[in-house]
Amino acid sequence: MNYQEENWLNILGKYTPQTTTWHALTTAYSPELEVIHSYKFMRAFKSNSDRSIIYHQNTYYLPDNQIQEQSWEINKQECNLSDGVFHPEAETMRAIGFGNGTNIWVSKKILIDQRLGSEVFFQQEDWRYSVIFLYQEGTLAKIVIIKENKQNFPTQVDDESIKDLSGKWQLTQTETKPDLQTSTKEVLHQEIKLDSLVEGNQNWFLPEKVVLSLPQTIPEGKAFELLVGKPITANLYKQIKIQYDITGNLSNLISEVYEF
């Protein structure tokens, strides 16, 4: 399998010369879950005729009534790399897709000023949810939930948090290495224990039933793991585990799909 080509298709291969627009409602929270800000924006994507270039434009409708735009050109020849898709917005991040409705835009390493961040995407038909976490100077600074629809702007955030995922689930686990080498396995009768997600982390049960398990501060000289999850339907739960080694480099990504 050509993992590099497969990853491009998972991330951007679905876009055509006809524009696809995601209408987004974004809400940023402090680690104490206080709302920092909330606003709407649009992400629009289209390709050139041979689908070798993706044109990406964001339009932000900010709380002070300003409208701001950003646009990027993602050239497949230059941006489809052996460790993921490069987006011009962030040199040290890569987009990696798992082919199961989950994608991630992830920091490849912890930066010298201890910045670290990722955006995890969960898509189901015309709806998509993404979760961003951002560390600054080694400390968790912000959590963002983005709710998107292809037709209309979402009108509100669902405040309901997840309480229980008990039962025997069937797990399909896809593991992706930094060089995009991928392996998949299935596990029958798997339990999801929300009270013990990742040892040593703090757990957050957020609006839109988002589950987060993160360290409050980035451990120095230690390997660590971050987890983002969300129920997609009553019988479908997805989560991504992000693992960094003792040197601060991304070492592994695990996408887990649980079906009941």
Q: pLDDT digit string (tens) for 12-69?
A: 999 999 999 999 999 999 999 999 999 999 999 999 999 999 999 999 999 989 999 9
Instruction: DSSP for 46-60, please give it.
Output: EE-TTS-EEEEEEEE
Q: Which distant-in-sequence residues (6+ apart) come within 8 Å of 158 by Cβ?
A: 207, 208, 209
**Does residue 9 surpass a pLDDT of 80?**
yes
The answer to whether position 111 is within a domain reads yes
pLDDT at 175: 97
Residue 201 inside a domain? The answer is yes
Domain that holds residue 219: 3-8+18-149+160-259
Is residue 155 assigned to a domain? Answer: no
Average pLDDT across the chain, whole number: 95
Domain count, the chain: 1
Q: Binning pLDDT at 50, 70 and 90, where does residue 195 land?
A: confident
Q: Is residue 68 part of a domain?
A: yes
Tokens found for residue 258? 């649980």
Residue 111 clears pLDDT 90, i.e. is over it: no
CATH number of the domain to which 210 belongs: 2.40.128.20
210-251: pLDDT as tens digits: 999 999 999 988 999 999 999 999 999 999 999 999 999 999
Question: Is the per-residue pLDDT at 10 higher than 80?
Answer: yes
Say if 38 falls within a structural domain: yes
**Predicted local distance difference test score (pLDDT) of residue 91:** 86
pTM of the full structure: 0.96
Q: What is the pLDDT of residue 96?
A: 98
Most distant CA atoms of the chain, gap in Å: 51
| Tens-digit pLDDT profile for residues 134-162 | 999 999 999 999 999 999 999 999 999 99
Q: State residue 245's pLDDT score.
A: 97
Whether 154 maps to a domain, the answer reads: no
Pairing of strands 116-124, 102-107: antiparallel
Q: Which residue has the higher pLDDT, 167 or 102?
A: 102
pLDDT of amino acid 23: 98
Quote the CA–CA distance of 199 and 229 in Å, as a whole number.
16
Sign (positive or negative) of CA dihedral 146, 150, 156, 161: negative
**pLDDT average, residue stretch 166-171:** 92
- Could you give the CA distance from residue 254 to residue 53 in angstroms, rounded to a whole number? 28
Distance between CA 197 and CA 171 in Å, rounded?
15
Q: What is the pLDDT of residue 27?
A: 97
